[in-house]
A and B are shown apart, each in its own frame.
Chain A
Amino acid sequence: MQVSLDINGASVALDLDARTTLLDALRNHAGLTGSKKGCDHGQCGACTVMVNGRRINSCLTLAVMHEDDEITTVEGLAEGNTLSPLQRAFISHDGFQCGYCTPGQLCSATAMLDEAAKGWPSNVTADLENATPLTDEEISERMSGNICRCSCYPGIVEAIREAADAPAQKTGAEA
């Protein structure tokens, strides 16, 4: 069936079987191989993209369900050759080794910072009614949906903390 997707600000028309997941549509049909397939079952986070600014696992949703939605993949995080603050922080803090989980980590962290800015609590937030600072414990909990087989967690947490502490940044995901 004909499906029109809005990916990184461009409208893309694709001819897809209804069974195609958003992840397979991006990788195999739209030529955007940044998003990775780790488990294909929602268990690793490598396929994380943003849909209307919210992070989701693209392996557990159908492309046809996302007509008219704004999809942002790792390819859409930089502005031209200018990396986002989070991307730069991942480089300066060694937030990766093999890099396979990194596109998912970046999309997840970008949207996670917006969730935190909106005051969303997490499982480790002590007081549900008042905003808490984004401690390392909070970052780890909020990023638990992204597994890193190389175990670069210390660098990932440092990178996210640096990006979170930086003055207001453009995230590519208007809340």
Chain B
Amino acid sequence: MKSFDYIRATSVAEAVQAGGTGARYIAGGTNLLDLMKLEVMAPDTLIDITRLGLDQIEELDNGGLRIGALVPNADLAADMRVRRGWPVLSRALLAGASGQLRNKATTGGNLLQRTRCYYFYDTAAPCNKREPGSGCAAMEGFNRILGVLGTSDHCIATHPSDMAVAMQVLDAEVEIEGKDGTRRVELDEFYRLPGDTPHIETVLAEGELITAVILPPAPGGKHVYQKVRDRASYAFALVSVACVAKVEGGVLEDISLAFGGLAPKPWRNRAVEDLLKGQAPSEALFEQAAETLLAEAKGHGSNDFKIPLTRRTLVSVLGEATKGAAA
């Protein structure tokens, strides 16, 4: 690990003041230290943000929830308000990592965790995300865990988070503090697609601090989070589907869907949702939804299997979300 200056910030203002080029915030440290040990990341300054009081979950006047950036994943998953009103979020969190990691991993850090692409971790391999312009070893290499949607010729990495997929289906917003004040960005707009700059992953400017994630009021309906992985626990998703569905009078009145393991960001495709809305649930309809979702999907060899796997997972999730409601 490269050496760095350590600063323990005592307020948001102090943290933001210290932030900027070469500096990194450290929250749970479960991703940043992992990468710093391998020198994939090598900040000059580490700003400890664990003592800023950003670890509260507050109810908002509109019925929504404000989740502090430092709320640990374990506490968020166990919060009774989340379990009752936004269960898809609890489910996604509980499907991720391990008990120990969830105790440390934070809301903000989870959103900003980096890809698990093997070559991103291997400093001897070319990787445009780690070293812009060096190439992409995954394109022709071992890419079974990598993306089939939203990728580019420069990078096919996926965003590995489970939590972010649930937040995406819930229309979450990210609250950001910078030297110029506070702003809010929809999670869907927060992540950038790789294009020819895969090293730039979000709209965060240097030194900006995530202070909270805002959830709109509890959506009701049936919540499902289905994660498919290589072992039953303590493994990243190959494919995951988050679903919030409302069935009324035998018809899918409303539905939101988000996907993990497929793309550089938690993936959402409104055309798929529009296709399902107002229709009576049926296997044929679900197959049509999968077709639309995967129309542009592109495999790279060892990850080709993700395309049929996603189709089957989506059909199964839609079946579960509408169970007993078939006309």
Q: Which residues of A contact B (CB under 8 A)?
A: 1, 17-19, 21, 40-42, 45, 48, 54-57, 60-62, 64-65, 108, 111-112, 115, 118-123, 125, 128-129, 140-146
Cβ–Cβ < 8 Å partners of B293 in chain A: none
Q: B78 within 8 Å of A by Cβ?
A: yes
Question: What is the CB-to-nearest-CB distance from B280 to chain A, in angstroms, rounded to a whole number?
Answer: 28
A128 to B91, CA, bound (A): 9
Cβ–Cβ < 8 Å partners of B99 in chain A: 55, 108, 111-112, 115, 142-145
Partner among B29, B34, B103 whose Cβ is within 8 Å of the Cβ of A65 = B29
Q: Are A42 and B34 interface neighbours, CB within 8 A?
A: yes
Q: Are A129 and B83 interface neighbours, CB within 8 A?
A: yes
Q: Are B34 and A60 interface neighbours, CB within 8 A?
A: yes
Cβ–Cβ < 8 Å partners of B33 in chain A: 21, 60-62
Q: Are B87 and A128 interface neighbours, CB within 8 A?
A: yes
Given A45-B98, A146-B98, 19 other A-B residues pairs in contact with their CB atoms under 8 A:
A41-B34, A42-B100, A57-B101, A57-B104, A60-B28, A60-B33, A61-B33, A62-B29, A65-B29, A108-B100, A111-B99, A119-B78, A121-B83, A122-B94, A128-B84, A129-B80, A143-B99, A145-B98, A145-B234
Question: What is the CB-to-nearest-CB distance from B72 to chain A, in angstroms, rounded to a whole number?
Answer: 8
Stretch at the interface among B1-9, B126-134, B170-178, B203-211: B1-9
A116 to B217, CA, bound (A): 28
Question: What is the CB-to-nearest-CB distance from B224 to chain A, in angstroms, rounded to a whole number?
Answer: 12
List residues 22-76 of chain B with CB under 8 A from any CB of chain A: 26, 28-30, 33-34, 37, 46, 48, 50, 74
Pick 19 A–B contacts, CB within 8 A, sort by A. A18-B46, A19-B4, A40-B37, A48-B100, A60-B28, A60-B34, A61-B29, A61-B33, A61-B104, A62-B6, A64-B48, A65-B26, A121-B78, A122-B94, A125-B94, A128-B84, A128-B90, A129-B83, A144-B98
Q: B233 within 8 Å of A by Cβ?
A: yes
Q: How large is the interface on B (under 10, 10 to 19, 20 to 34, 35 or more residues)?
A: 35 or more
A146 to B232, CA, bound (A): 14
What is the chain A residue whose CB lies nearest that of B104?
A56
- In the A-B complex, the 9 residue pairs with the closest CB atoms: A145-B98, A144-B233, A18-B6, A128-B83, A144-B234, A123-B94, A120-B78, A54-B103, A145-B100
Cβ–Cβ < 8 Å partners of B234 in chain A: 144-145
A60 to B37, CA, bound (A): 10
What is the chain B residue whose CB lies nearest that of A19?
B1
Q: Are B84 and A41 interface neighbours, CB within 8 A?
A: no
